[in-house]
Chains A and B, each alone.
Chain A
Amino acid sequence: MAPGWRRAFFGLATTAVTLLVMFPVAWMVLTALRPASGVFYVHRGTEFTLANFGEALAKPEMTESFINSAIIATFATVFSLAVTITSGYMLSRFHGAVASLWFGLIYLFRCIPYISWVIPLYLLTQWLGILDTYWGLLLPHVAVHVCFFSWIMKGFFDSISPDLEAAAYIDGCSRWGAFFRVALPLATPGIVALFILCWLYTWNEFLFALILTGSRTPMLTVRMAQFVHETGIEWHLMSATGVMAIGPALVVTLFAQEYVVKGLRI
């Protein structure tokens, strides 16, 4: 193929894939802009309104839940990364009984579906007195991430040669020193990528938010679903909230995306 054709094909394919991927979100935006009576046939009619956003935000617990979701997502991410960076590093650099045991445990608990332990977890957090508090939602999130992130982090450290750390030891660095000064900076791009994934995952999480919260910690996803699940067919309000919820997620992604690129160029 001539390069011109090739480029045209590439451009066309890229556009098509992008549009296809964006379609459900675009549809949500369109639904969010239709008045309540026009929401049945989103594709018909030309009335558009911004009132849905106002109506969705009018409920006081809506702003509450935006703040709550942001807090939980941010702190769950920070804590999850903090505990799994070290755990992944250990899995990557050490072998033997303890490492195998730890990996086995992680693998085992990754395989057990949430639903089998969410009710015991509810009772446990209630018993610990942290049900319907930030800790009661955040710590289970961290626990969920332990397995997967340790594993992914191991992969990141695996791709970094341990020779550099060995060189640091020779220069008189302690184990912790080598980890913090040599290994950690090299793993930064991966860690930032994981940061986005973890933040978005927690921001979007539903099942824990549904079961482990009460009046004091309303979460965004639960509120959104309620527009359709309880009050029924208020698609326009759910979409409006959904569009607003993409906002912070987009900011995080754009910011971190930039960071990934920068981190990689170093």
Chain B
Amino acid sequence: MTGLLRVGERERFMLALILPAFLVLGLFQIVPVLLGANASFRSWSLFNPQKTFVGFENYRRILTDPLFYGTVLPNTFLFMAASVTGGLGAGLGLAVMLNRRFRGARLVRTAILLPLMVPPVVAAIMITWMFNDQFGIVNVVVQAVGLEPVPWLIYRWTSLAIVVATDVWLWTPWFTILILAALQTLPPEPHEAAKIDGAGPWRLFRHITLPLLQPVLMVCVVVRAIDAFRVFDIVWTITKGGPARSTETFSIYAYKQAFVYLNFDLGAAASLIGAAIIMIVGGVLYRGLSAVVEVSR
């Protein structure tokens, strides 16, 4: 404790480094979150904030809602797993590809970064439009190969698949750019040493590149997993959680509680429950990935 309280030159430097970030975070995130957390223990509808204290009643109601544990959480985990795996695989592949020198590399690199330049909400509207059962280009292709047009957005699994595909499309460049930056800062010595030892490209990648990328990959996976768990805008734009609430993820569920049903208290409780879950999942993921990478090294 004394170590924490003693403020020497080193401590002053440390605190000065984080102070600006802390102030902004504190005022514009921590305070609003605490305000929301306060509401989750009270009876607080958006249109008539009575603010009477109800203890854990709101939490109880969310946790006993069959929709929440039966549909919303499975959807959220499924979405997270599919989106992170897809994005990581594609991003790693593209980064390795772009790390080589070939003609047109610049063009390809720009093209692959294109999804980053499209606002997710516009991308989601565009995707919805492409999958429109009457006018969409996807059904034109489906019909061209002789199949019946598919009403994509009235089934749970096709809707979810579209949302996942959109998310992978949007976030692959994000993985690519960070992994590529890491690839380019890798020291060349281990590769050269291994090449002299006669290692093939796959073994080089598997045993040299991948372990060296570990810190970046781990941060990417954990951060993306957290973000995918909280996904909101593209699900909202493409399915609004439909058909009949079957593709709701936990942010959609919390949003609907708070802003469609105007139960601000329940919405706040739901988002804090979700935050607790993802904190644990993120921690486990981080530990687990560290262990896996350690073993395979």
| A contacting B, Cβ–Cβ less than 8 Å | yes
User: Which residue numbers of A lie inside 8 Å of B, CB to CB?
Assistant: 10-11, 14, 17-18, 21-22, 24-25, 27-28, 31, 40-43, 79, 82-84, 86-87, 89-90, 94, 96-99, 102, 105-121, 123-124, 139-140, 142-144, 146-148, 150-152, 155, 158-159, 175-176, 189-190, 193, 196-197, 200, 203-207, 220-221, 224-225, 228, 235, 238-239, 242, 245-246, 249-250, 253-254, 257, 260, 264
| Interface positions of B from 106 to 153, Cβ below 8 Å from A | 106, 108-123, 125-127, 129-130, 135, 137, 140
Closest to B113 in A: A253
Measured in the bound complex, the distance between the Cα atoms of B23 and A87 in whole Å is: 12
Q: Which of A21, A41, A117, A142 is close to B36, meaning CB atoms less than 8 Å apart?
A: A117
Counting CB contacts under 8 A, is B35 at the interface?
A: yes
| C-alpha spacing A245/B250, complex, angstroms | 30
B257 CB, nearest partner CB in chain A, Å: 10
Interface size class of B (residues with CB under 8 A): 35 or more
Interface set of B (CB-CB < 8 Å, partner A): 3-4, 9-11, 13-18, 20-22, 24-25, 27-33, 35-36, 39, 46, 94, 97, 102, 104, 106, 108-123, 125-127, 129-130, 135, 137, 140, 169, 172, 174, 177-178, 181-182, 184-185, 215-216, 219, 223, 226, 230, 232-233, 250-251, 254-255, 258-259, 264, 267-268, 271-272, 274-275, 278-279, 282
**Bound Cα distance A249, B126 (Å):** 18
Q: Given the interface contacts A113-B230, A115-B267, A159-B215, does A42 sit within 8 Å of B137 by beta carbon?
A: yes
CB-based A-B contact count at 8 angstroms: 260
Task: Let me know if A97 and B282 touch, CB within 8 A.
Answer: no
Q: Quick check: B18 and A151 within 8 Å, CB to CB?
A: no
Query: When A83-B24, A113-B274, A190-B181 are in contact, do A200 and B116 touch as well, CB less than 8 Å?
Result: yes
Contact of A120 with B33 in the complex, beta carbons under 8 Å: yes
Most chain A beta-carbon contacts within 10 A, residue among B33, B46, B119: B119
Indicate if the CB atoms of B271 and A224 lie closer than 8 Å: no
A220 to B122, CA, bound (A): 11
The dominant DSSP class at the A interface is helix
Instruction: Tell me the interface secondary structure of chain B in the complex.
Output: helix
B93–chain A nearest beta-carbon distance, Å: 8
| CB-defined contacts of A148 to chain B, threshold 8 Å | 223
**Contact indicator A197/B129 (Cβ below 8 Å):** no
Report Cα–Cα, A113/B230, bound state, in Å.
6
Chain B residues closer than 8 Å to A221, beta-carbon distance: 119, 121-122
Q: Would you call A21 and B178 a contact (CB within 8 A)?
A: no
Chain B residues with CB under 8 Å of A143's CB are 24-25, 27-29
